[in-house]
Amino acid sequence: MACTTCKGFYVGMVLGIVMISSMVASCSANFFQDTEITWGGDRGKIFNGGQLLSLSLDKFSGSGFQTKKQFLFGRIDMDIKLVSGNSAGTVTTFYLSSQGPNHDEIDFEFLGNVSGDPYILHTNVFSQGKGNREQQFYLWFDPTRNFHRYSIVWKPQHIIFMVDDIPIRVFENEEAKGVPFPNKQAMRMYSSLWNADDWATRGGLVKTDWSNAPFTAYYRNFKATDLSLSSSKSFSDSQVQSNELDANGRRRVRWAQKYFMIYNYCTDLNRFPQGLPPECKRSRF
Ligand SMILES: *[C@@H]1O[C@H](CO)[C@@H](O)[C@H](O)[C@H]1NC(C)=O
């Protein structure tokens, strides 16, 4: 459902798997058709016939956009070029969320920094209104120089966070251990650029320098792939695999976590004096 530009999808289904996989693979969404700018007025802009989108932030407001459709399980890919130069105090978000008081949410947030100092990539998972599952990373490249791909794979058995197709975090479905997992509420993709200089950069020590405004982030190659139980049957083996973790994938998660992870709630004993959350106990990651 997610690739609304793929008109032939259901017709293709009767023609067999090869045809469908090629259609899904080549299907990149259109920002005009598939998303809407919901915040910040003309600070959010769509260019190039729907292929490029920019968000900006000034003293008066940030901006944001979201997908028109919701889905229950899916893979979202987005190429983002973050605010360059002195981005201290700014936060760029890219996340999935349901609505309502006990909402589910799967977050990427990019915390800006002064020129030359590293962004922090902040991740979190909320299920049924409860988050507190932060992991933070430095990136192994300058995310302001080029576009890089950020992906969320949301399946009934796990959530995988990926950067340039490298899995950096896996949140397994451990309902069997009593850990709520987001699998009942449909979600939309949201993205925003806003000012959070009370906490974002060095814990709020560095404030936004408004003489650099407006701050701008760019988006392209947005792709939403439906992985709901009914449609995932139609994916080719290679597509199913790229949404799973094989031995190589697990090695890459360990690499990212060993060299780039700077905060992990699962090792923060001070924060959980009553004991670490149950999903941390035997987690391989
Ligand atoms: C900004 O740079 C400082 C100094 O290198 C670093 O401690 C911090 O983690 C960086 N990122 C953010 C978002 O504060």
Q: What pLDDT band is residue 2 in, cutting at 50, 70 and 90?
A: very low
Task: Record the pTM.
Answer: 0.88
Percent of the chain with pLDDT over 70: 85
Is 177 part of any domain? yes
Handedness of CA 52, 56, 61, 63 (dihedral sign): positive
Q: Is the pLDDT of residue 232 over 70?
A: no
Domain count, the chain: 1
Report the chain's mean pLDDT, rounded to a whole number. 88
Domain enclosing residue 88, as ranges:
46-185+204-280
CB distance 30 to 48 below 8 Å? no
Q: In this predicted model, what pLDDT tens digit does every residue of 58-111 receive, in sequence order?
A: 999 999 999 999 999 999 999 999 999 999 999 999 999 999 999 999 999 999
Catalytic hit among 36, 109, 172, 244: 109
* Number of Cα atoms under 13 Å in the Cβ half of residue 159: 25
CATH code for the domain in which residue 158 is found? 2.60.120.200
- The 10s digit of each residue's pLDDT in 171-220 is 999 999 999 999 999 999 999 999 999 999 999 999 999 999 999 999 99
- Judging by DSSP bridges, how do beta strands 166-172 and 158-163 pair with one another? antiparallel
The pLDDT of residue 244: 77
**pLDDT per position as a tens digit, 13-46:** 444 444 444 344 446 789 999 999 999 999 999 9
Residue 194 to residue 123: CA distance in whole angstroms: 17
Q: Is the pLDDT of residue 239 over 80?
A: no
* Domain membership flag for residue 161: yes
Whether 134 is catalytic: no
Residue showing tokens 């890219």: 94
Q: Among the atoms of ligand 1, which is closest to the Cα of residue 200?
A: 13
Does a structural domain hold residue 26? no
Residue 210 domain-assigned? yes
In a domain, 158, yes or no: yes
From the CA of 201, give the closest atom in ligand 1.
Answer: 14
Can the peptide bond before residue 214 be classed as cis, meaning omega within 30 degrees of 0?
yes
Task: Indicate whether 156 pLDDT > 80.
Answer: yes
Looking at residue 253, what is its pLDDT?
Answer: 96
Phi first, then psi, for residue 243 (nearest 5°) are: -105, 10
Q: What is the pLDDT of residue 169?
A: 97
Residue 241 lies in a domain: yes
| Catalytic residue list contains 105 | yes
Pocket test for ligand 1, best of 114, 201, 261 (most atoms within 8 A of CB): 201
Does 17 reside within a domain? no
Q: Is residue 4 assigned to a domain?
A: no
List the residue whose alpha carbon is closest to atom 6 of ligand 1: 202
Mean pLDDT for 213-234 is 84
Are 134 and 141 in contact by the 8 Å Cβ rule? The answer is no
Q: Which pLDDT tens digit goes with each residue over 93-104?
A: 999 999 999 999
pLDDT at residue 249 above 70? yes
Tokens of 195: 């000012």
From 23-27, 122-126, 260-264, the region with the lowest mean pLDDT:
23-27
